[in-house]
Structure 1
Amino acid sequence: MAAAKKKKYEVTQDFTDLQDKNKVYRKGDTYPKPGNKKVAPERLKGLLEGDNKQGRPVIKEV
């Protein structure tokens, strides 16, 4: 049985991750850094859908 493939995300708007020691992400970066870091589904949803301090999506699935 194959393992589930981990989803990958790309930053679409510069932002500072206030939930990860103020790590700065720039447009075009991969999210999260490092790539094997676990991120809560609620956090991903907020960044994907704009439920965050910027009020807009800052990452997209690639």
Structure 2
Amino acid sequence: TGLGLPLARMLAELHGGSLTLDSEKNIGTTATLLLPAARLGGAVGLGAAAGGCPPDRAAAGPS
């Protein structure tokens, strides 16, 4: 229906990121999604989400 990319861009921006598209005729299209590594207010890193380290350590950031 043509709503996918506008919704994806809006969600990226709501999370403090961006979505850009670069297209070249007869070559292809590149989509780039940039999101902040952490958000203020007690963000939990990917390691904790994947079971890589305890949540209290992930929230503190790298040591």
TM-score range, shorter chain: under 0.3
Is the helix fraction higher in 1 or 2?
Answer: 2
TM-score (norm 1): 0.22
Higher RCO, Cα 8 Å, sep 6+: 1
TM-score (norm 2): 0.22
- Which structure would you say has the larger Rg? 2
